Structure formats: C-alpha cells, structure tokens
C-alpha cells in the first residue's frame, strides 16, 4: 500500500497543506451531516447512481468495492445491478455515514452488502480481490486523490474496472457552486490552500483522463451527465445545500453570522433566477471516468 510518488512530490511543493488534518476535518464534517446528506442523496442522487453503475459496466455475479460510499445510494444501485450472485463491499471514512447506510432498506434481488469504516487512502482489503471498484462523489474530496486511485487500482483484479463519478466544471455545476462561490466571494481566505482538493478539480476536459492514466489504468473513457435538480423554492435549495453538504456547510459555518446572512441573501437571489413553473431548477454537471487494470 505505497503512496503514489507523484502525489508525494506535490505535497512537498505545498508544505502548508496537511493531508491528515484535512482527512480528519472531512471525517468530522461528514459525521455531523450524515442524516441530512442521506436525505439529500436519496432525493437527488438515486438516478445519478443508476446512470453511473451502468456506465461502469457492472455485470451480474461480480464482486464490487464501493469507495466513499456515504449513505449508500450508489452501493445499492450497484448491488441491484450485480444481482444476488454478486457481492459488494461498501466503505466510507465516516462511521455515522456507514450507520445510516446499514439502516436503509436493501433492494430486492440484490447482492448482499458488507459495510465497513475505511479510509480511501489505505483500503484494508486484499490485493486484486474485486471485479470492479467504483467511487461516486469521492475522488474530488480526497486529500490525496492519486493515493486513493492507487489503492483502488490495487484492490482491483487484473482486467477489472475502476470507475469514478465527480462534480463537473464549476460554471456548469451550479448545484454546488452557487453556494460555494458566494462563500468565497464574501471571504476569499476560505479558498482551498495549494495542494488541497477542490470540488471541481476533475471537471475540466482531460483532468479525469490524466488522473486515471497516472494510476496506470488503460482504455480510459469518460462521459458527462447534465440536467437540473428541482426545488420548491430558493429557500428549499438553500436548506438542502447548507444542511446536507458536509464540506460546503462546514465552510459556511466558519463565517460570522453577518457574513452567513449575506451569503444566504445572495444565494437566494441568484437561485431565484432559475425559476421554472413555480419551482427552482438548478443545473448540474457530473463527470464519469472508467478504466481497466492491466495484468
């Protein structure tokens, strides 16, 4: 389980960024928002998860690993796709996320799911033990994405698939960027430090291909998913995002009460520009990538 040397070099160039501290902060943030993020995921990401596991090419009877599974939306979609003869292990850094995932109803005629608390940077699984390794909305949050990619590749069998879904380009992913942009507009000091992960790092053309190539994956393919998420009002959108999104909510809470009020007012005004049929439709873009492990 050796860390990716390329990432180590990047860390040395950015000594102010502490990956271990960032990972601990992530654990705390996602534990705090586990219940609300589960509600957000069930409401908005179920269809996305189905599209993702279809893109990943999962087959009946496979053994699959889901990394950074959160409340298990993609895990259950994958389990349904591989069927009762398959098996699935779903892991997440935050114990309270795993608790939520365990309690959710399992799909009919789906593979059994083993839930475990685990850090993506040091997966406690045997080498070459899965037919596919997937991660939905995890890669862009990892403190050391190349290390996590190396771990996912290590867990995959020769010829197995590794697939990830991340947020797309910032200007297209208004679902999250409306709030995040307003926070950083009000307090630029909250901008991620050099070397730290950002939500949209893997959205630009070529970024996922380069990341998968650094992990020595072959036959890399990508696809963008676009659409809109519907909310009953700007207030509904605000509440969903700020209570359900771990890292964004944590950033918001670092602002003073006056600055939080400014951000909310600004976001509500901007969200209202997306009115459609008495509701709010906020655009999203996800990027998916898939590659194969060689022998």
- Can you list the domains of the chain with their CATH numbers? 5-170+193-228+286-293 (3.40.50.150)
Report how far residue 149's alpha carbon sits from residue 87's, in angstroms, rounded to the nearest whole number.
21
pLDDT at 9 over 70: no
Whether 19 and 196 have beta carbons less than 8 Å apart is answered as no
Angle between helices 174-186 and 234-244 (to 10 degrees): 80
pLDDT value, residue 243: 85
Report how far residue 291's alpha carbon sits from residue 211's, in angstroms, rounded to the nearest whole number.
11
Q: Which residues are registered as beta bridge partners of 88?
A: 64, 113
66 phi and psi, to 5 degrees? -110, 115
Residue 76's nearest CA partner among 23, 19, 136 is: 136
- Global pTM reads 0.92
Helix (H) or strand (E) holding 77: helix 73-82
Q: Binning pLDDT at 50, 70 and 90, where does residue 231 land? A: very high
Q: Binning pLDDT at 50, 70 and 90, where does residue 1 land? A: very low
> What is residue 173's three-state secondary structure?
coil
Q: What tens digit of pLDDT does each residue of 143-194 get? A: 999 999 999 999 999 999 999 999 999 999 999 999 999 999 999 999 988 8
Whether 290 and 217 have beta carbons less than 8 Å apart is answered as no
Report how far residue 78's alpha carbon sits from residue 75's, in angstroms, rounded to the nearest whole number.
5
Question: Residues 147-151: contacts with CB within 8 Å, 24+ apart?
Answer: 147/3, 147/4, 147/7, 147/121, 148/67, 148/120, 148/121, 149/4, 149/211, 149/212, 149/214, 149/215, 150/2, 150/3, 150/4, 150/215, 151/1, 151/67, 151/120, 151/121, 151/122, 151/123
């Amino acid at each position: 389980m050796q860390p990716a040397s390329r990432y180590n070099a990047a860390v040395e160039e950015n000594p102010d960024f502490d990956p271990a501290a960032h990972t601990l902060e992530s654990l705390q943030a996602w534990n705090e928002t586990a219940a609300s993020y589960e509600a957000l995921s069930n409401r908005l990401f179920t269809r996305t998860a189905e599209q993702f596991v279809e893109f990943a090419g999962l087959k009946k009877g496979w053994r699959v690993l889901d990394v950074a599974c959160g409340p298990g939306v993609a895990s259950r979609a994958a389990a349904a796709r591989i069927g009762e003869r398959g098996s699935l292990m779903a892991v997440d850094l935050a114990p309270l996320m795993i608790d939520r995932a365990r309690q959710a109803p399992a799909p009919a005629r789906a593979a059994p799911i083993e839930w475990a608390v685990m850090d993506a940077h040091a997966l406690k699984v045997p080498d070459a033990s899965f037919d596919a390794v997937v991660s939905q909305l995890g890669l862009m949050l990892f403190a050391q994405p190349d290390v996590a990619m190396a771990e996912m590749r290590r867990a995959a069998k020769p010829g197995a698939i590794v697939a990830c879904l991340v947020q797309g380009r910032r200007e297209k992913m208004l679902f999250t960027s409306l709030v995040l942009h307003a926070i950083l507009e009000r307090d630029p000091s909250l901008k991620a430090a050099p070397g730290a992960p950002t939500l949209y790092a893997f959205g630009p053309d070529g970024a996922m291909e380069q990341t998968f190539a650094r992990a020595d994956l072959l036959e890399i393919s990508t696809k963008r998913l676009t659409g809109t998420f519907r909310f009953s009002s700007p207030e509904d959108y605000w509440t969903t995002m700020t209570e359900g999104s771990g890292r964004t909510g944590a950033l918001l809470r670092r602002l003073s009460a006056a600055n939080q009020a400014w951000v909310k007012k600004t976001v509500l005004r901007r969200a209202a520009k997306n009115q459609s049929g008495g509701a709010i439709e906020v655009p999203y873009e996800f990027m998916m990538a898939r590659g194969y492990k060689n022998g």
